[in-house]
Chain A
Amino acid sequence: MAAAVNRTFWSDPELSKFNPLSRIIAYDQFSKGFRGYTALVGNYEHTLDNVLPGFKDMNQPMLSNGTHWDTGSHGGHDGTYALKIASRPRPRSVNMALKRFTFRKACPIQIEAYLAFKPEATDLTLSASDAGAFSLVLDLQDNERRIMPHIRYLNAFNGERIEKWQFKRAVEPAMDVGGENSLGETRSHHHFGADGWEDIPGGAQQLCYNEVPTKYNWHYLKMGFDLRSMSFTSLQCNDRIFDVSTLEPMRMPAWPNLNCLFNVCWTVEADSHKRSFLYLDSVLVSGDWEDA
């Protein structure tokens, strides 16, 4: 049966390595461009000085052919380029890239990706504890609630390799971002930072680091979420499938002007005074719905 199902993808071999739900919302191979993934600017009024501190390190993602000093260009999984998100070279600096959707119908959705995660190759050593973490965050809102599922792989913390999956449900306080002249119309909450994460039960996993910082191996990641119940449905990385029954997203009352919000956000986080890089070769977003 599995072989038969796979044959339906043979007309497009690049899709056969994914397991999408019944409808593909977006299939983004970054060798074809930025595909709508962009930078996040923290919310503000009047001046950028009012952006919350955790957002100030964020800048634009790149299209990278993964060029290193010792091996030249690495390339992507399916093509020459990958979307590269780079932290600043200081511990716990976070950068992110996101794509902004809205959803047509509350239904099961799924995010799949082929990705690689490495530190900057400034030292001729293993450097495996220099890459801090990467995460996949969804930003969702229905008519009543704003819901934010957070999943991260914590590779290292304070120089120690941790190598486990975590989730975050602790809500960060929303702050006015207008300074002394706040209009009270715009708020911001920095929920991508290093605080508040909880271990996923059974979530230890060693990824394929591969000996030196200039080699990277592509990993498969899948996360499922149900927009009807606003709960996790799946989490898989390569050969490991995790129990998501105890995972919770951040939950808060609906914010103004965010109806049907559906953002797909990827972050990278440094652990040392080296940049950490998340490379996304491709991201497939799918859903399972019928229009009424």
Chain B
Amino acid sequence: MRESITAVVARGDTWSGVAASEPYDVAWAGEAVIFLRSLGAEGNPEQARAWVQISPDGMRWVDEGSMLPIPRVDEISSVRVRNFGTYLRVMTVLPEGSSFKALLTLSLKE
């Protein structure tokens, strides 16, 4: 049996300006599908993009190269990633005056 988890890393967190999800330990996992929903928004956050970052220590972050759209309210976006090492997170930079309530879900599998 392959270990797996669907981890809700951000549950309605308000993202504005420079925002990032909490670091998540993924050393055991070989693949991830990242889902991003918006549970509410102000301004036009969908004009921005979010992107995946990796880290060797959970503190210093490097762009992994994958992007995912910031969805409109009640819509959802996703991206698949592999070979990500030990820590994963998603970050974004939103336009001034824009924010949204992020539901960020990592579906991880061994």
Is A39 among interface residues, defined by CB-CB distance under 8 A? Answer: yes
Q: Which residues of A contact B57 (CB under 8 A)?
A: 67-69, 121
The residues of B that contact A86 with a CB separation of less than 8 Å are 22-23
CA distance A228 to B59 in the complex (A): 47
Q: Binary interface profile of A, 24-56, with partner B (CB < 8 Å = 1, else 0)? A: 000000000110000101000001110100001
Binds A, one of B1-9, B42-50, B74-82, B91-99: B1-9
Asked whether A48 lies within 8 Å of B58 as measured between CB atoms, the reply is no
Q: Specify which chain A residues have a CB less than 8 angstroms from the CB of B56 in the assembled complex.
A: 67, 69
CA gap between A271 and B13 in the complex, in Å: 21
Q: Is the CB of B22 within 8 A of A84?
A: no
Q: Is the CB of B59 within 8 A of A121?
A: yes
Return the CB mask of B6-28 against A: 1 if under 8 Å, else 0. Answer: 01111111000000001111111
- Asked if A207 lies at the interface with its beta carbon under 8 angstroms from chain B, I say no
Tell me whether B11 and A41 are in contact (CB under 8 A): yes
Measured CA separation A47–B10 after assembly (Å): 15
B59 and A88 contact, CB distance less than 8 A: no
Write the chain A residue with the least CB distance to B6.
Answer: A60
Task: Using CB atoms, name the residue of chain B closest to A64.
Answer: B25
> Inside 8 A of A81's CB, which chain B residues have their CB?
27-28
Complex-state Cα separation, A270 to B11, whole angstroms: 19
Q: Which residue of B lies closest to A60 (CB)?
A: B7
Contact with A along B64-95 (1 / 0, CB 8 A): 00000000000000000000001100000000
Q: A64-B25, A67-B57, A81-B28 are in contact. Are A49 and B12 (CB under 8 A)?
A: yes
**Of the candidates B3, B5, B23, B60, which one forms a contact with A60 in the assembled complex, judged by CB atoms under 8 Å apart?**
B5
- Establish whether residues A33 and B8, one from each chain, have CB atoms under 8 Å apart when the complex forms: no
B59 touches A59 (CB 8 A): no
List residues of chain B with CB within 8 A of the CB of A84: 25
The contact of B25 among A41, A48, A65, by CB within 8 Å, is: A65
Q: Is the CB of A33 within 8 A of B22?
A: no
Instruction: Report Cα–Cα, A33/B109, bound state, in Å.
Output: 11
Other-chain residue from A41, A65, A80, A120 in contact with B59 (beta carbon distance below 8 A): A120
Across the interface, do B27 and A73 meet the contact criterion of CB distance under 8 Å?
yes
B25 lies within 8 A of A63 (CB) = yes
Nearest residue (CB) in A for B5 is A34
A48 and B39 contacting across the interface, CB-CB below 8 Å: yes
Asked if A182 CB lies within 8 Å of chain B CBs, one says no
Besides A33-B3, A63-B27, A64-B27, 11 new A-B residue pairs in contact (Cβ under 8 A), listed by A number: A48-B101, A49-B12, A49-B40, A56-B12, A59-B8, A59-B22, A63-B25, A63-B28, A67-B57, A69-B56, A88-B22
B-side interface residues toward A, CB under 8 Å? 3, 5, 7-13, 22-28, 39-40, 56-60, 86-87, 101
Interface residues of chain A, those whose CB is within 8 Å of chain B, are 33-34, 39, 41, 47-49, 51, 56, 58-60, 62-65, 67-69, 73, 80-81, 84, 86, 88, 120-122
